[in-house]
Structure 1
Amino acid sequence: MQTLSSPTATFSTGITPVVLLVGSIALLILGLQPLLLGQLFSARIVTLEGIGLVAMGEIVALGLGVVLTDLFLPRRRLWRVVILASLAVVALDLITCNVRGDIPITLVRAACGLVEGVLVWLTTYVIVCSHNPERLAAVFMVVQTMSQALVSTLFAALVLPLSGWQGGFVALAALSLLPCVLIRALPRQFPAMREQPIPGIRWSIAGLLPLVLAFLQMAAIGAIWAYLEPLGNSFNLSQAEIGTVVSEVLLMQVLGGIVSVFTVHRFNTVLVVALGALTLGGIGFALMQLTQIDFVLFTGLFALFGFAWLFTMPFYVSLALQVDPSGRVALLIPAMQLTGSASGPLAVSLAVDSDGVGIVPAFSAAFSVSVLTLTVLGYRWISRRTIGGEGV
Structure 2
Amino acid sequence: MIQASQGFQSNRTIMLSMMIGAVGILILGIQPLLLGALLNAGKINAVELGWIATVEVLGMALGVWIGARLMAGSQGKRIAVAACLLMALANAITPSADTVMTIAWARSLAGLAEGAMIAVSILTISHGAAPARLNAIYLTAGATPQLVFAYLLPVKVFPVYGVESGFYILAGVGLLSAALAVVIRDRLAPEPEEAGGRVAWTPKVVLALAATLVTASAIGACWSYAEPMGARQGLTTASVGVAITISLAFQIIGSLVVALVGYRLPFRLVLPGGVIVQAAAVMTLIAIPGIVGFSFGLAVFGFCWQACLPFAMDLVIEADASRMTAPLVMPLTLAGLSMGPLIASALVGASVIGAFVFGIAAFVTAAGLYLFIFRPGSAPPVRLASLDG
Q: Distance in 1 between matches of 2:238 and 2:208?
A: 38
In the TM superposition, residue 76 of structure 1 has moved relative to its aligned partner by: 4.4
Q: Distance in 1 between matches of 2:268 and 2:189?
A: 39
Q: Distance in 2 between matches of 1:254 and 1:322?
A: 26
Q: Distance in 1 between matches of 2:375 and 2:318?
A: 8
In the TM superposition, residue 29 of structure 1 has moved relative to its aligned partner by: 0.8
Alignment counterpart, residue 359 of structure 2, candidates 337, 346, 364? 364
Alignment counterpart, residue 69 of structure 1, candidates 67, 70, 74? 67
Structure 2 regions of 5+ residues with no counterpart?
382-389
Q: Distance in 1 between matches of 2:119 and 2:369?
A: 32
Alignment counterpart, residue 337 of structure 1, candidates 302, 308, 333? 333
Residues 383/57 of structure 1: CA separation in 2 closer, same or farther (3 Å cut): farther
Q: Deviations 1:75-117 (Å, cap 9, x if unpaired)?
A: 44935x5444333222222333244776654433221111122
Residues 70/141 of structure 1: CA separation in 2 closer, same or farther (3 Å cut): same
More displaced, 59-68 or 355-364? 355-364
Question: Which structure 2 residues correspond to residues 44-123 of structure 1 after superposition, within 5 A?
Answer: 45-72=43-70, 75-76=74-75, 78=77, 81-99=79-97, 104-123=102-121
Aligned equivalent of 1:312: 308
Read off the aligned partner of 2:66 and give its amino acid letter: L
Alignment counterpart, residue 384 of structure 1, candidates 362, 377, 384? 377
Residues 343/9 of structure 1: CA separation in 2 closer, same or farther (3 Å cut): same
Residues 52/218 of structure 1: CA separation in 2 closer, same or farther (3 Å cut): farther
Q: Distance in 2 between matches of 1:254 and 1:329?
A: 26
Alignment counterpart, residue 224 of structure 1, candidates 206, 222, 225? 222
Q: Distance in 2 between matches of 1:233 and 1:160?
A: 25
Q: Distance in 2 between matches of 1:61 and 1:55?
A: 10
Q: Deviations 1:117-154 (Å, cap 9, x if unpaired)?
A: 23223333445666666543332222112222222222
Kept after mapping to 2: 8 A contact 1:9/1:192: no
Residues 96/288 of structure 1: CA separation in 2 closer, same or farther (3 Å cut): farther
Q: Distance in 1 between matches of 2:320 and 2:189?
A: 30
Residues 232/95 of structure 1: CA separation in 2 closer, same or farther (3 Å cut): farther
In the TM superposition, residue 309 of structure 1 has moved relative to its aligned partner by: 0.4
Residues 241/163 of structure 1: CA separation in 2 closer, same or farther (3 Å cut): farther
Matching of residue 266 in structure 1 with residue 265 in structure 2? yes
Aligned length: 378
Q: Distance in 2 between matches of 1:129 and 1:162?
A: 44
Read off the aligned partner of 1:369 and give its amino acid letter: V
More displaced, 237-246 or 58-67? 237-246
Matching of residue 203 in structure 1 with residue 202 in structure 2? yes
In the TM superposition, residue 63 of structure 1 has moved relative to its aligned partner by: 2.5
Q: Distance in 1 between matches of 2:321 and 2:75?
A: 34
Residues 15/201 of structure 1: CA separation in 2 closer, same or farther (3 Å cut): closer
Residues 317/235 of structure 1: CA separation in 2 closer, same or farther (3 Å cut): same
In the TM superposition, residue 224 of structure 1 has moved relative to its aligned partner by: 2.6
Read off the aligned partner of 1:275 and give its amino acid letter: G
Residues 230/95 of structure 1: CA separation in 2 closer, same or farther (3 Å cut): farther
Kept after mapping to 1: 8 A contact 2:85/2:175: yes
Read off the aligned partner of 1:225 and give its amino acid letter: W
Kept after mapping to 2: 8 A contact 1:127/1:136: yes
Residues 279/43 of structure 1: CA separation in 2 closer, same or farther (3 Å cut): farther
Matching of residue 293 in structure 1 with residue 290 in structure 2? yes
Residues 194/18 of structure 1: CA separation in 2 closer, same or farther (3 Å cut): same
Residues 226/94 of structure 1: CA separation in 2 closer, same or farther (3 Å cut): farther
Q: Distance in 2 between matches of 1:14 and 1:270?
A: 32
In the TM superposition, residue 28 of structure 1 has moved relative to its aligned partner by: 0.0
Root-mean-square deviation (Å) = 3.8
Aligned equivalent of 1:167: 165
Q: TM-score, normalised by structure 1?
A: 0.78
Q: Distance in 1 between matches of 2:65 and 2:175?
A: 23
Q: Distance in 1 between matches of 2:358 and 2:155?
A: 30
Read off the aligned partner of 2:309 and give its amino acid letter: M
SS at match of 2:105: helix
Q: Distance in 2 between matches of 1:11 and 1:372?
A: 35
Aligned equivalent of 2:191: 193
Q: TM-score, normalised by structure 2?
A: 0.79
Kept after mapping to 2: 8 A contact 1:145/1:254: yes
In the TM superposition, residue 341 of structure 1 has moved relative to its aligned partner by: 1.5
Q: Distance in 2 between matches of 1:272 and 1:15?
A: 30
In the TM superposition, residue 189 of structure 1 has moved relative to its aligned partner by: 7.9
Q: Deviations 1:49-68 (Å, cap 9, x if unpaired)?
A: 44543333222222322332
Aligned equivalent of 1:346: 342
Q: Distance in 1 between matches of 2:376 and 2:313?
A: 16
Q: Deviations 1:298-347 (Å, cap 9, x if unpaired)?
A: 32221111101011223333444555666566554333322211211221
Read off the aligned partner of 1:314 and give its amino acid letter: P
Read off the aligned partner of 2:202 and give its amino acid letter: W
Matching of residue 30 in structure 1 with residue 25 in structure 2? no
Read off the aligned partner of 1:293 and give its amino acid letter: G
Read off the aligned partner of 1:142 and give its amino acid letter: T
SS at match of 1:384: coil
In the TM superposition, residue 238 of structure 1 has moved relative to its aligned partner by: 5.4
